[in-house]
Amino acid sequence: MFERKPETHEEEFFASRESARAYAGMAEKSGFMYRGFLKELAAFEPRGSVLDVGAGPGVLACLVAQHHPEVHITALEVSDQMVEAGREYVAQKGLQERIQFVQGNATNEEVVRGLGRFDLVYCAYTLHHFKAPERVLKNLLSVVKDTGTFYVYDLRRTRWLYWVPLRSGFLDSIRAAYVANEVRDIAQRVTTLQTCEVKNQFPFHLSLTIKPAPPTVQPASEPASEPASEPASR
Ligand SMILES: C[S@@+](CC[C@H](N)C(=O)[O-])C[C@H]1O[C@@H](n2cnc3c(N)ncnc32)[C@H](O)[C@@H]1O
């Protein structure tokens, strides 16, 4: 018995501006939780337009912007309180020109499509929160440019933590998280597996990378043959 136990405990963080600010403070002190994500992300050499989905109070978006000076980030977040705390946090960091918060639900196709198209779309620590993960993935893939990347990083349901006989926000999130095969199944329902890679990440994380299939290259056509020269008039 190792089944997934979807959680709701984190919603208390999204209930008021104060609790959203408290979440930001906690996230700031948990830099080690972002280290693996930032390292993996750097391999994509991010630049251009980036969509951060489920951006929370913007702590991670600010780190991404600081590490990659050539990105401009749209931070999509469903909770009004998080959006307010996020705008405040981004302003404190002086990054308001490069990070724009948008309040909206990634489940809503119209909202996602209204954001434009992106060189990189990522979501961190958010997949296990989605009530309709396939719909969200499908929406998000539709706004990745043909040359772009879609990257998901989240906790992984690991046995050695799942069975720790304690309740804590972190352990509840571990119990609510997916394992690699489940993520592969979700991805398979919305895209072709050739374009996607699911990896276990040390110590209790996983990632999903999807690169849209490159546009098929048309074989170079034979140069049009010269029109037969007119017979010389007599
Ligand atoms: C655990 S927090 C992660 C925040 C941030 N990505 C980080 O790593 O610090 C998950 C966030 O996803 C947001 N979220 C959950 N479902 C969402 C949805 N359908 N659309 C947009 N945001 C969502 C929550 O409101 C919450 O702020």
Cβ(76) to ligand 1 under 6 A? yes
d(CA 135, CA 133): 5
| Residue labelled with tokens 């690699």 | 180
In the reported structure, the alpha carbon of residue 99 is separated from the centroid of ligand 1 by a whole-number distance in angstroms of 16
Whether pTM exceeds 0.75: yes
Please check whether residue 121 is in contact with residue 148, taking contact to mean a CB–CB distance below 8 angstroms. yes
Cβ(112) to ligand 1 under 6 A? no
The pLDDT score that the predictor gives to residue 171 is 95
C-alpha distances in angstroms, 132 versus 60, 129, 186, 212, 219?
23, 9, 10, 21, 40
Residue type, 154: D
Pull the structure tokens for residue 26. 């906690």
DSSP class of 12? G
Residue type, 64: V
Q: Which helix (H) or strand (E) holds 122?
A: strand 118-124
Band of residue 193 on the pLDDT scale cut at 50, 70, 90: low
Cβ(14) to ligand 1 under 6 A? yes
In the reported structure, the alpha carbon of residue 174 is separated from the centroid of ligand 1 by a whole-number distance in angstroms of 16
- Mutate which of 11, 19, 78 to test ligand 1's pocket (most atoms within 8 Å of Cβ)? 78
Cβ(82) to ligand 1 under 6 A? yes
Task: For residue 38, give the 3-state DSSP assignment.
Answer: helix
d(CA 107, CA 109): 6
* Tens digits of residue pLDDT in 224-234: 555 544 444 43
| Ligand 1 atom with the shortest distance to the CA of 20 | 27
Cβ(78) to ligand 1 under 6 A? yes
In the reported structure, the alpha carbon of residue 190 is separated from the centroid of ligand 1 by a whole-number distance in angstroms of 21
Which residue's CA is the closest to the ligand 1 atom numbered 11?
54
Predicted confidence (pLDDT) at residue 92 exceeds the cutoff of 70: yes
Instruction: Quote the mean pLDDT of the chain.
Output: 90
Task: For residue 231, give the 3-state DSSP assignment.
Answer: coil
d(CA 101, CA 62): 12
Task: For residue 28, give the 3-state DSSP assignment.
Answer: helix
Residue 72 burial (CB count, 10 A)? 15
Which of 4-18, 26-40, 92-106, 140-154 shows the lowest per-residue confidence on average (mean pLDDT)? 4-18
Q: Which CATH architecture has domain 9-210?
A: 3-Layer(aba) Sandwich (3.40)
